[in-house]
Structure 1
Amino acid sequence: MRRRSVIPALAALCTGLAGVAVAVAPGSATAASVACTAPESAIYTPPASVAAAPGTVLACRPTGLPEVPGDIAMKAWRVQYASRVVPGRRGGVSGLGGGPTAPWTGPGARPVVSYHFGTLGLGSQCAFSKQLAGAYQDEYEGDQVAGLLRAGWAVAATDDVGYLTGRTHTYMAGHNAAHAMLDVVRAAFQVPGSGLSTGAKVGVWGYSQGGAASLWSAQLAATYAPELNLAGAAAGGVPADLKEVAKASDGGAFAGFSVDATIGLHAAYPNLPFDALMNEQGRRLIADLKTLCLVGTVARGAGARSESLTTGGLSPEEFYRLAGPDGVTWGAVLDAQKLGVGVGTAASGARYRIGFPVLQYHGLLDEVIPTQVEEAVRTAYCRAGITTRQRKYLTGHLLADGQAIGDVVAWFTDRFAGRPATGNC
């Protein structure tokens, strides 16, 4: 859950191993076999190129996690690993992993949950691995990670693409987020001393931005990481249709999130027209948002509208029709991030096949993600025959994730135990 001190701040704004791994010097990053003694700078320095297979550990160092309650005996590491980045090249991604030091007493190997944070902001200091390791405070606390560790499972948490020094986070680029979530699990298996087995059952979990990442991971796992033993995906507060989310936030308290999405998608799809479309107000806002974390993003982006940021006062619909030199429009890129399209079961011929249960949840009073957006992706999964269970909480976006932790952990407990899953479509 986002740090509790952030919630009243947002409300106010809205109302007025010692062990092991790889250290590869900047340059061409390839698979290597060295100790987990890389300096912190190596975790966040982007390699000039990456030749290693997705999931390969590129740099690693042991770390503490002061944002996780101290009563959990654990070992943890920060890592940079290889991943596939839109439009098909390989790049480095930072993240972290950890697990209890107590022996696993359950059946099979210790399960691993790939966790993806909710929106943190675009500034490089906002990276989840930095926040959970205490390098940047007052934006995030480790309740979800603590819940997973207390259950006895290991956690692999990506920072997602673009938090390396000098890069821009590709916020809301679905394929990038999914690749990063799946590859951080592959990387966790490679860390010597992690004690993790490649045959372990794996879950994916995220909320808000992380909820979209979790469902994209579910949709891509069969083709991108078929060797992973996926047991289930949990996703809450999912911005499943970016056009609808942008329509709801335009000019409102959370408009900064949609501007961040525009910045992030341009970072992923640089052929799209962007800089030349912005007026001076738009350029100043974009420059500021690239440096800010959650609270600053909400404060600085509040009230933003496409018409006030673009030369000629472009409406969202006019903006969506604009194309880059390759003919791809903004609208097409936004539509490509929409979840629930082309989905089916493992035995189907669908483009995106999900062969494991899915848990979806959201707040009935969500002030950020329209509830119809959540319901639409759930309906699409149900119609496709995917085993889907939904939970609703009588709260808003900022609190629903914290309320769901116990239910999510209980649901994963059943998945890892091999108990039959039932949907409530």
Structure 2
Amino acid sequence: MRIFPRSLRRVLLSLLAVLTVLFAVPSQATAVPVGVPAPSDDPFYTPPLPLPSGVPGDVIRQRKVNAYADPLTLFPMPVNAWQIIYRSTSATGTANAVSGTVLVPKTPWLGGGARPLVSYAVGTHGLGDSCAPSYKLRTGTETEIALISQALLAGYAVVLTDYEGLGTPGQHTYAVGQAEGRAVLDAARAAFRVPGTGLSANGPVGLFGYSQGGQATTFAAELAPAYAPELNLVGVATGGVPADLAAVARFNDGNVGFTLVLAAAVGYAAAYPDVPFEQILNDTGRATVPRVEKACTVELATIAPLRRLNDFVTMPDPLADPRWQARLAENRAGTRAPTAPVYLYHGTADELIPLAVGRRLRADWCGLGASVQWQEIPLAEHILGVSVGGPAAMTWLGDRFAGKPVTSNC
């Protein structure tokens, strides 16, 4: 028997998600629970070398854990949770190992058919290993817990990737869409291969992400037809997408989000040894970059706001270098049409990722024949964009799981 009509339940879930996002306490203001070592001190995160033979999505290592919604909660979330190390593929096509978390509600799935799976890509958490979502879920400090909980409360399983180098050894390849997209798809593959989840490999899969997560899900959507064609991908909810990182970098040069430009440069240098970065840093750059490499979101935002790239390097315009141009072009979204329907949203007052970048992605996808439902969030800056748009995007994804007709406004 239903206590509330389905439409009312969705409204309540969306409202809960919005309130939790708006009033969340920054994760770095909380203490780490006793007994949960940071990834750098936890042997679980170090994969065997060489990697065992296999294919993308193979589970290299797994363990049962508890996940917490906040650091003050005494009882874990009512889910079965596994941390995993799984096989994926780097931006240059080499095999790598990525960490992540699988969450499955303990309540039976009553929606008919196989339980849906959301491959959830988090937004910017930082570049240090302690920023990894798998660690934050164990310590109750995951700042996107509201939207994750919205999916779990609806009965969906959720898998979260830590992305390459966030938790596992090596530098996080931040903002490199080619690596992120594969990590998102392989996380879904891995979730199906963890014993005891009850998930069916034929079950419906949805992708969800915003900001860095939006970049990751966007690339996953574009890569899926060739890279992971066996996944039953039914929908992609993606927002605040830095689809053209060169344009985003120039927009943020001298802007409040400039530290993210430095972070992206660190990520690209980690993914592509051919791009010049460390060798062009000046004294200021050499002093600042190590801080960026270890910082989580709150600290990251305070390192170099309103600065310019030329303050940190010895050459006048690194982004004009042909090697940078080539790698940035490889990671510009909108060049391939997703075959799954897409819900794409963007705040009209986004101060980090300009609205024009989102509109261009919509136009590119529509021109390629994709099914896109575009939603602008009036007067919303970057955080308000996900606070308002995220719950609606998760609800849209639920409609795809339910098999409802898709509306495109291309």
Structure 2 counterpart of 1:250, from 244, 248, 253? 253
CA distance in 1, matches of 2:43, 2:82: 13
Matched-pair contact (CA < 8 Å) for 1:256–1:300: yes
C-alpha distance in structure 2 between counterparts of 1:285 and 1:107, whole Å: 53
Q: Percent identity?
A: 38
User: Cα–Cα, structure 1 residues 141 and 72, in superposed 2: closer, same or farther, change >3 Å?
Assistant: same
1:103-154 Cα distance to aligned partner (Å, 9 max, x none): 111121000010000001111110111112217x4x6240111000011100
1:58–1:253 CA distance, 2 compared to 1 (3 A): same
The number of equivalent residue pairs is: 374
**Gap regions ≥5 residues in structure 2:** 1-20, 30-40
Which amino acid is the alignment partner of residue 382 of structure 1?
C
Q: 1:416 aligns with which of 378, 401, 409?
A: 401
Q: Per-residue deviation at 1:3?
A: 7.0
Match of 1:119 in 2: 124
User: Which has the larger share of helix?
Assistant: 2
Partner of 1:280: 283
Secondary structure at 2:88's aligned position in 1?
strand
Q: Kindly provide the CA deviation profile for residues 254-305 of structure 1, in whole angstroms up to 9, marking residues without a partner as x.
A: 1011111111011000122221101010111111100100111110021231
Structure 1: tracts of 5 or more residues without a match? 10-39, 324-328, 345-353
Q: Which residues in structure 2 correspond to 1:37-48 (within 5 Å)?
A: 41-48=42-49
Query: Do structure 1's residue 134 and structure 2's residue 139 form an aligned pair?
Result: yes
| Two-structure CA RMSD over aligned residues (Å) | 2.1
* Separation (CA, whole Å) in 1 of partners of 2:279 and 2:375: 44
Match of 1:350 in 2: none
Amino acid at match of 2:65: T
CA drift at 1:2: 8.2
1:58 shift after superposition: 1.0
Aligned to 1:148: 151
* SS of residue in 2 equivalent to 1:409: helix
Tell me what 1:386 maps to. Answer: 370
TM-fit CA distance, 1:402: 2.0
Answer whether contact 2:246 2:319 (CA < 8 A) is retained: no
Q: 1:175-208: per-residue Cα shift (whole Å, max 9, x none)?
A: 1111110111111111111110001000001000
One-letter code of the match for 1:402? S
Alignment of 1:80-229 (within 5 A): 80-134=85-139, 137=141, 140-229=143-232
Cα–Cα, structure 1 residues 223 and 165, in superposed 2: closer, same or farther, change >3 Å?
Answer: closer
Separation in 2, partners of 1:116, 1:290: 20
Asked if the contact 2:67–2:77 (Cα under 8 Å) also holds between the matched residues in 1, the reply is no
Query: What amino acid sits opposite 1:406 in the alignment?
Result: P
The aligned runs of 1:16-55 (5 Å cut-off) are 41-50=42-51, 51-55=53-57
- Which structure carries more relative contact order (alpha carbon 8 Å, separation 6+)? 2
Task: Name 2:4's counterpart in structure 1.
Answer: none
Secondary structure at the aligned position of 2:139 is classed as coil
User: 2:269 and 2:163 mapped to 1: Cα distance?
Assistant: 16
TM-score (norm 1): 0.84
Query: TM-score, normalised to structure 2's length?
Result: 0.87
Partner SS state of residue 66, structure 2: coil
Q: Does the CA contact (< 8 Å) of 1:124 and 1:163 recur in 2?
A: yes
Specify the code of the residue in structure 1 equivalent to 2:206. Answer: G
Structure 1 residue 83: Cα displacement: 0.5
1:269 aligns with 2:300: no
SS at match of 1:157: strand
In structure 1, the residue corresponding to 2:294 is in which secondary structure? coil
Q: Does 1:4 align with 2:16?
A: no
Alignment counterpart, residue 304 of structure 1, candidates 291, 307, 318 = 307
One-letter amino acid of the counterpart of residue 153, structure 1: Y
Residue 52 of structure 1: SS of its match in structure 2? coil
What SS does the corresponding residue of 1:360 show, helix, strand or coil?
strand
